[in-house]
Amino acid sequence: MTNTIEVKSLTKYYGRPGAGPSARLRAGVLAVDHVNFEVHQGEVFGFLGPNGAGKTTTQRMLTTLLEPTEGRILIHGHDLARDAYPVKRRMGLVPEESNVYTELTAWDNLMFTARLYRVSRGERAARARELLETFGLWEKRDVKAQDFSKGMRRRLSIAMAIIHKPALLFLDEPTPGLDAQSARAIRGLIRQLSAEGTTIFLTTHQIEEANQLCDRVAIINHGQIAAIDTPERLKQAFRRVQSVEVALEPDGQAHGEPLSALAGVTTLVKMGDKWRLYTQDPSALLPQVMDYARSRELRVVSLSTLGPSLEDVFLEITGQQVGTVQHKAEGSKPRRRGMGGRR
Protein backbone atom coordinates (compact mmCIF):
# COMPACT_ATOMS: atom_id res chain seq x y z
CA MET A 1 0.00 0.00 0.00
CA THR A 2 1.46 3.37 -1.03
CA ASN A 3 1.72 6.05 1.61
CA THR A 4 0.74 9.60 0.69
CA ILE A 5 1.89 10.99 4.05
CA GLU A 6 4.59 9.59 6.30
CA VAL A 7 5.19 11.36 9.59
CA LYS A 8 8.19 10.38 11.65
CA SER A 9 8.82 11.58 15.19
CA LEU A 10 7.08 14.88 14.49
CA THR A 11 7.50 17.32 17.37
CA LYS A 12 6.56 20.93 17.90
CA TYR A 13 7.46 23.24 20.73
CA TYR A 14 5.85 26.68 20.81
CA GLY A 15 7.77 29.60 22.15
CA ARG A 16 11.36 30.66 21.86
CA PRO A 17 13.80 27.92 22.68
CA GLY A 18 16.49 29.32 24.97
CA ALA A 19 14.41 32.28 26.14
CA GLY A 20 12.70 32.64 29.49
CA PRO A 21 13.73 32.42 33.13
CA SER A 22 12.74 28.80 33.81
CA ALA A 23 13.82 25.56 32.19
CA ARG A 24 10.23 24.94 31.08
CA LEU A 25 9.97 28.29 29.34
CA ARG A 26 13.40 27.87 27.81
CA ALA A 27 12.26 24.59 26.29
CA GLY A 28 9.01 26.10 24.97
CA VAL A 29 5.52 24.60 25.22
CA LEU A 30 5.26 21.08 23.84
CA ALA A 31 2.27 20.89 21.47
CA VAL A 32 3.08 17.76 19.44
CA ASP A 33 5.23 15.06 20.96
CA HIS A 34 7.14 12.69 18.65
CA VAL A 35 4.15 11.69 16.59
CA ASN A 36 4.38 8.89 13.99
CA PHE A 37 1.73 7.88 11.47
CA GLU A 38 1.11 7.15 7.80
CA VAL A 39 -1.78 8.08 5.57
CA HIS A 40 -2.39 5.67 2.72
CA GLN A 41 -3.06 6.79 -0.79
CA GLY A 42 -6.75 7.35 -1.49
CA GLU A 43 -7.99 6.92 2.07
CA VAL A 44 -10.01 9.29 4.23
CA PHE A 45 -7.90 9.66 7.35
CA GLY A 46 -9.58 11.16 10.39
CA PHE A 47 -7.48 13.08 12.88
CA LEU A 48 -9.42 13.37 16.11
CA GLY A 49 -8.66 14.94 19.40
CA PRO A 50 -10.05 17.25 22.05
CA ASN A 51 -9.34 20.98 21.94
CA GLY A 52 -5.66 21.69 22.50
CA ALA A 53 -4.59 18.11 21.76
CA GLY A 54 -2.33 19.12 18.87
CA LYS A 55 -4.63 18.51 15.87
CA THR A 56 -4.31 21.92 14.28
CA THR A 57 -0.60 22.19 15.05
CA THR A 58 0.00 18.86 13.30
CA GLN A 59 -2.09 19.89 10.33
CA ARG A 60 -0.29 23.23 10.05
CA MET A 61 3.03 21.42 9.98
CA LEU A 62 1.75 19.06 7.28
CA THR A 63 0.61 21.99 5.17
CA THR A 64 3.95 23.88 5.53
CA LEU A 65 2.40 26.70 7.56
CA LEU A 66 4.44 25.77 10.61
CA GLU A 67 7.98 24.47 10.89
CA PRO A 68 8.44 21.34 13.00
CA THR A 69 10.89 21.50 15.88
CA GLU A 70 11.93 17.91 15.21
CA GLY A 71 10.92 15.05 12.98
CA ARG A 72 10.31 14.44 9.33
CA ILE A 73 7.31 14.72 7.04
CA LEU A 74 7.25 12.94 3.70
CA ILE A 75 4.38 13.68 1.34
CA HIS A 76 4.24 11.85 -1.99
CA GLY A 77 7.82 10.84 -1.14
CA HIS A 78 9.07 14.44 -0.90
CA ASP A 79 10.67 15.67 2.29
CA LEU A 80 8.59 18.70 3.23
CA ALA A 81 11.54 20.47 4.87
CA ARG A 82 13.61 20.38 1.67
CA ASP A 83 11.26 20.02 -1.24
CA ALA A 84 7.88 21.56 -0.45
CA TYR A 85 7.11 23.01 -3.88
CA PRO A 86 5.94 19.82 -5.68
CA VAL A 87 3.95 18.88 -2.57
CA LYS A 88 2.20 22.24 -2.41
CA ARG A 89 1.19 21.96 -6.07
CA ARG A 90 -0.70 18.73 -5.34
CA MET A 91 -2.18 19.78 -2.02
CA GLY A 92 -5.44 21.53 -1.16
CA LEU A 93 -6.27 23.12 2.17
CA VAL A 94 -9.65 23.94 3.68
CA PRO A 95 -9.01 25.64 7.03
CA GLU A 96 -11.45 25.77 9.91
CA GLU A 97 -12.53 29.30 9.07
CA SER A 98 -13.84 29.69 5.52
CA ASN A 99 -11.11 31.92 4.18
CA VAL A 100 -12.82 33.21 1.07
CA TYR A 101 -12.37 36.79 -0.10
CA THR A 102 -15.68 38.31 0.85
CA GLU A 103 -15.20 41.34 -1.41
CA LEU A 104 -14.87 39.09 -4.46
CA THR A 105 -17.60 37.19 -6.26
CA ALA A 106 -17.67 33.40 -6.12
CA TRP A 107 -16.34 33.37 -9.69
CA ASP A 108 -13.45 35.75 -8.90
CA ASN A 109 -12.52 33.74 -5.81
CA LEU A 110 -12.20 30.61 -7.94
CA MET A 111 -10.34 32.40 -10.74
CA PHE A 112 -7.82 33.81 -8.27
CA THR A 113 -7.14 30.40 -6.74
CA ALA A 114 -6.87 28.83 -10.17
CA ARG A 115 -4.22 31.41 -11.12
CA LEU A 116 -2.40 30.85 -7.86
CA TYR A 117 -2.20 27.11 -8.58
CA ARG A 118 -1.35 27.70 -12.26
CA VAL A 119 -4.40 25.98 -13.66
CA SER A 120 -4.09 26.49 -17.41
CA ARG A 121 -6.02 29.34 -18.93
CA GLY A 122 -8.10 26.95 -21.02
CA GLU A 123 -9.11 24.83 -18.03
CA ARG A 124 -9.88 27.57 -15.50
CA ALA A 125 -13.34 28.60 -16.61
CA ALA A 126 -14.54 25.05 -17.30
CA ARG A 127 -13.29 23.83 -13.92
CA ALA A 128 -14.80 26.81 -12.08
CA ARG A 129 -18.15 26.23 -13.74
CA GLU A 130 -18.04 22.52 -12.94
CA LEU A 131 -17.32 23.21 -9.26
CA LEU A 132 -19.89 25.97 -8.91
CA GLU A 133 -22.53 23.68 -10.40
CA THR A 134 -21.47 20.78 -8.17
CA PHE A 135 -21.68 22.98 -5.08
CA GLY A 136 -24.97 24.60 -6.08
CA LEU A 137 -23.40 28.04 -6.44
CA TRP A 138 -23.58 28.54 -10.20
CA GLU A 139 -26.58 30.86 -9.96
CA LYS A 140 -24.67 32.92 -7.39
CA ARG A 141 -21.40 33.09 -9.31
CA ASP A 142 -21.56 36.88 -9.69
CA VAL A 143 -22.59 37.53 -6.09
CA LYS A 144 -19.93 38.73 -3.66
CA ALA A 145 -19.09 36.17 -0.98
CA GLN A 146 -19.99 38.71 1.72
CA ASP A 147 -23.64 38.05 0.84
CA PHE A 148 -23.25 34.27 1.20
CA SER A 149 -24.49 32.19 4.11
CA LYS A 150 -21.96 30.32 6.24
CA GLY A 151 -22.73 27.09 4.39
CA MET A 152 -22.27 28.72 0.99
CA ARG A 153 -18.94 30.20 2.05
CA ARG A 154 -17.87 26.79 3.28
CA ARG A 155 -18.76 25.21 -0.04
CA LEU A 156 -16.93 27.95 -1.90
CA SER A 157 -13.92 27.49 0.34
CA ILE A 158 -13.82 23.78 -0.51
CA ALA A 159 -14.29 24.52 -4.21
CA MET A 160 -11.30 26.87 -4.05
CA ALA A 161 -9.21 24.17 -2.39
CA ILE A 162 -9.89 21.59 -5.09
CA ILE A 163 -9.90 23.73 -8.23
CA HIS A 164 -6.46 22.35 -9.15
CA LYS A 165 -7.59 18.76 -8.53
CA PRO A 166 -5.24 18.08 -5.61
CA ALA A 167 -4.15 14.54 -4.88
CA LEU A 168 -4.20 15.36 -1.14
CA LEU A 169 -6.83 17.48 0.57
CA PHE A 170 -6.63 18.76 4.13
CA LEU A 171 -9.99 19.53 5.70
CA ASP A 172 -10.06 21.19 9.10
CA GLU A 173 -13.44 20.88 10.83
CA PRO A 174 -15.47 21.06 7.61
CA THR A 175 -19.00 20.99 9.01
CA PRO A 176 -19.37 22.56 12.49
CA GLY A 177 -21.83 25.43 12.54
CA LEU A 178 -23.49 24.39 9.28
CA ASP A 179 -27.14 23.48 8.85
CA ALA A 180 -27.90 19.80 8.36
CA GLN A 181 -28.39 20.17 4.61
CA SER A 182 -25.03 21.89 4.04
CA ALA A 183 -23.23 19.44 6.33
CA ARG A 184 -24.72 16.50 4.46
CA ALA A 185 -23.75 18.03 1.11
CA ILE A 186 -20.15 18.45 2.28
CA ARG A 187 -19.97 14.89 3.58
CA GLY A 188 -21.29 13.71 0.23
CA LEU A 189 -18.58 15.68 -1.49
CA ILE A 190 -15.87 14.20 0.71
CA ARG A 191 -17.10 10.70 -0.22
CA GLN A 192 -17.12 11.64 -3.88
CA LEU A 193 -13.58 13.04 -3.75
CA SER A 194 -12.40 9.93 -1.98
CA ALA A 195 -14.08 7.73 -4.59
CA GLU A 196 -12.21 9.69 -7.25
CA GLY A 197 -8.89 8.85 -5.58
CA THR A 198 -8.16 11.98 -3.54
CA THR A 199 -6.42 11.30 -0.23
CA ILE A 200 -8.23 13.22 2.50
CA PHE A 201 -6.82 14.27 5.85
CA LEU A 202 -9.83 15.20 7.95
CA THR A 203 -9.21 17.04 11.19
CA THR A 204 -12.32 17.01 13.30
CA HIS A 205 -13.80 16.69 16.73
CA GLN A 206 -17.12 15.54 15.21
CA ILE A 207 -16.76 11.89 16.13
CA GLU A 208 -19.83 10.68 14.27
CA GLU A 209 -18.64 12.44 11.14
CA ALA A 210 -15.32 10.62 11.38
CA ASN A 211 -17.18 7.36 11.96
CA GLN A 212 -19.23 7.87 8.79
CA LEU A 213 -16.45 9.12 6.56
CA CYS A 214 -13.07 7.77 7.59
CA ASP A 215 -11.29 4.62 6.52
CA ARG A 216 -8.97 5.03 9.50
CA VAL A 217 -8.76 7.45 12.38
CA ALA A 218 -5.97 8.61 14.63
CA ILE A 219 -6.80 9.95 18.07
CA ILE A 220 -4.35 12.50 19.39
CA ASN A 221 -4.33 13.50 23.04
CA HIS A 222 -1.84 15.72 24.87
CA GLY A 223 0.25 15.90 21.70
CA GLN A 224 0.64 12.13 21.38
CA ILE A 225 -1.10 9.61 19.18
CA ALA A 226 -3.28 7.56 21.51
CA ALA A 227 -4.73 5.18 18.91
CA ILE A 228 -4.78 4.60 15.15
CA ASP A 229 -7.07 2.11 13.45
CA THR A 230 -10.28 1.72 11.51
CA PRO A 231 -13.36 2.94 13.40
CA GLU A 232 -14.76 -0.58 13.65
CA ARG A 233 -11.55 -2.09 15.01
CA LEU A 234 -11.29 0.68 17.56
CA LYS A 235 -14.82 -0.05 18.69
CA GLN A 236 -14.03 -3.75 18.94
CA ALA A 237 -11.05 -2.96 21.15
CA PHE A 238 -13.33 -1.10 23.53
CA ARG A 239 -16.09 -3.69 23.95
CA ARG A 240 -16.10 -2.95 27.65
CA VAL A 241 -17.71 0.40 26.91
CA GLN A 242 -21.23 -0.95 26.35
CA SER A 243 -24.49 0.58 27.41
CA VAL A 244 -28.20 0.13 27.90
CA GLU A 245 -30.41 2.94 26.66
CA VAL A 246 -33.90 3.36 28.06
CA ALA A 247 -36.70 5.88 27.61
CA LEU A 248 -39.23 5.98 30.43
CA GLU A 249 -42.61 7.59 30.73
CA PRO A 250 -43.11 9.77 32.63
CA ASP A 251 -39.55 10.98 32.30
CA GLY A 252 -37.75 13.21 34.79
CA GLN A 253 -34.51 13.98 36.56
CA ALA A 254 -35.72 11.93 39.53
CA HIS A 255 -34.74 8.72 37.72
CA GLY A 256 -31.09 9.74 37.80
CA GLU A 257 -30.15 8.62 41.26
CA PRO A 258 -31.93 5.24 41.35
CA LEU A 259 -30.78 4.28 37.86
CA SER A 260 -27.17 5.14 38.64
CA ALA A 261 -27.43 2.98 41.78
CA LEU A 262 -28.28 -0.18 39.78
CA ALA A 263 -25.60 -2.85 40.03
CA GLY A 264 -23.01 -2.70 37.24
CA VAL A 265 -23.71 0.88 36.13
CA THR A 266 -20.44 2.73 35.74
CA THR A 267 -21.84 5.98 34.39
CA LEU A 268 -25.30 7.33 33.71
CA VAL A 269 -25.88 9.96 31.05
CA LYS A 270 -29.13 11.73 30.22
CA MET A 271 -29.42 12.03 26.45
CA GLY A 272 -32.53 13.99 25.53
CA ASP A 273 -35.55 11.93 26.66
CA LYS A 274 -33.41 8.81 27.15
CA TRP A 275 -31.05 7.53 29.80
CA ARG A 276 -27.86 5.76 28.82
CA LEU A 277 -26.43 3.43 31.43
CA TYR A 278 -22.83 2.42 30.75
CA THR A 279 -21.92 -1.05 31.91
CA GLN A 280 -19.58 -3.91 31.20
CA ASP A 281 -22.49 -6.40 31.30
CA PRO A 282 -25.67 -5.20 29.56
CA SER A 283 -27.42 -8.58 29.89
CA ALA A 284 -27.23 -8.36 33.68
CA LEU A 285 -28.43 -4.78 33.68
CA LEU A 286 -31.47 -5.18 31.41
CA PRO A 287 -33.66 -7.07 33.97
CA GLN A 288 -32.75 -4.55 36.65
CA VAL A 289 -33.96 -1.71 34.45
CA MET A 290 -37.22 -3.54 33.75
CA ASP A 291 -37.67 -4.21 37.48
CA TYR A 292 -37.10 -0.53 38.21
CA ALA A 293 -39.75 0.48 35.66
CA ARG A 294 -42.26 -2.04 37.04
CA SER A 295 -41.67 -1.04 40.66
CA ARG A 296 -42.36 2.64 39.84
CA GLU A 297 -45.20 1.85 37.40
CA LEU A 298 -43.32 3.49 34.54
CA ARG A 299 -43.92 2.75 30.86
CA VAL A 300 -40.81 1.62 28.99
CA VAL A 301 -41.03 3.58 25.72
CA SER A 302 -37.85 2.03 24.35
CA LEU A 303 -35.06 -0.17 25.62
CA SER A 304 -31.94 -1.19 23.75
CA THR A 305 -28.38 -2.34 24.27
CA LEU A 306 -25.60 -0.49 22.46
CA GLY A 307 -22.06 -1.45 21.57
CA PRO A 308 -19.35 1.17 21.96
CA SER A 309 -19.63 4.08 19.53
CA LEU A 310 -16.55 5.80 18.14
CA GLU A 311 -17.44 8.64 20.48
CA ASP A 312 -17.24 6.27 23.42
CA VAL A 313 -13.83 5.11 22.24
CA PHE A 314 -12.71 8.69 21.86
CA LEU A 315 -13.96 9.61 25.32
CA GLU A 316 -12.39 6.54 26.83
CA ILE A 317 -9.03 7.37 25.32
CA THR A 318 -9.06 11.08 25.99
CA GLY A 319 -10.65 10.91 29.42
CA GLN A 320 -13.43 13.29 28.39
CA GLN A 321 -17.13 12.94 29.07
CA VAL A 322 -20.30 13.40 27.07
CA GLY A 323 -21.48 16.98 27.45
CA THR A 324 -24.95 16.29 28.78
CA VAL A 325 -26.39 15.89 32.27
CA GLN A 326 -24.36 13.24 33.96
CA HIS A 327 -25.13 11.41 37.16
CA LYS A 328 -22.21 9.67 38.75
CA ALA A 329 -22.85 6.55 40.71
CA GLU A 330 -22.42 6.92 44.43
CA GLY A 331 -19.59 5.39 46.36
CA SER A 332 -16.56 3.80 44.83
CA LYS A 333 -18.00 2.68 41.51
CA PRO A 334 -15.50 3.05 38.68
CA ARG A 335 -16.01 6.17 36.57
CA ARG A 336 -15.34 6.32 32.86
CA ARG A 337 -13.63 9.63 33.27
CA GLY A 338 -11.24 8.12 35.72
CA MET A 339 -10.17 5.31 33.41
CA GLY A 340 -7.64 7.58 31.81
CA GLY A 341 -6.15 7.48 28.37
CA ARG A 342 -4.35 4.75 26.57
CA ARG A 343 -0.96 5.75 25.32
Partner 1 sequence: MKDGWLQRLQDELAQAWAVTVKDMKVYYLRPGMIMFGLFMPFFMFFSFSVRREMAAAQGVARLLALTTFFTAAAAGPFIIPLERRLGTYDRLLAAPMSLLTLLLGKTAVGAIFAIGVSAVALLGGVVAFGASIAQPWLLAAGVLLGSFSFSALGLIFGSIPARNPGDVMMPSTLLRWGLLFISGVFVPLAEMGAVARVLAYLSPLTYAQDLMNHAVLGMGLLDPWLDIGVLLVSGVLFLVPSVLMHQRSRRLGY
| 103 scored as a contact of partner 1 (CB under 8 A) | yes
- What is the rounded distance in angstroms from the CA atom of residue 114 to the CA atom of residue 111? 5
Cα-flanking dihedrals φ and ψ of residue 48, to 5°? -110, 155
Q: Which stretch binds partner 1 (CB under 8 A): 93-101, 190-198, 226-234, 237-245?
A: 93-101
| 99 scored as a contact of partner 1 (CB under 8 A) | yes
- What is the rounded distance in angstroms from the CA atom of residue 237 to the CA atom of residue 80? 34
Min dist CB 118 to partner 1, Å, is: 5
Residue 107 contacts by C-beta under 8 Å, 6 or more apart in sequence?
Answer: 128, 132, 141, 142
- What is the rounded distance in angstroms from the CA atom of residue 48 to the CA atom of residue 320? 13
Binds partner 1 by CB under 8 A, chosen from 4, 7, 10, 12: 12
Min dist CB 267 to partner 1, Å, is: 37
Per CB under 8 A, which of residues 73..92 are in contact with partner 1? 85, 88-89, 91
- What is the rounded distance in angstroms from the CA atom of residue 302 to the CA atom of residue 318? 30
| 243 scored as a contact of partner 1 (CB under 8 A) | no
The count of residues interacting with partner 1 (CB under 8 A) is 35
Comparing C-alpha atoms, which of 224, 275, 216 is closest to residue 246?
275
| 290 scored as a contact of partner 1 (CB under 8 A) | no
Per CB under 8 A, which of residues 153..192 are in contact with partner 1? 160
Min dist CB 222 to partner 1, Å, is: 18
| 33 scored as a contact of partner 1 (CB under 8 A) | no
| 101 scored as a contact of partner 1 (CB under 8 A) | yes
- What is the rounded distance in angstroms from the CA atom of residue 125 to the CA atom of residue 104? 16
- What is the rounded distance in angstroms from the CA atom of residue 100 to the CA atom of residue 51? 24
Chain residues in the site for partner 1 (CB under 8 A) = 12, 14-16, 31, 57, 60, 63-67, 85, 88-89, 91, 93, 95-104, 108, 112-113, 115-118, 160
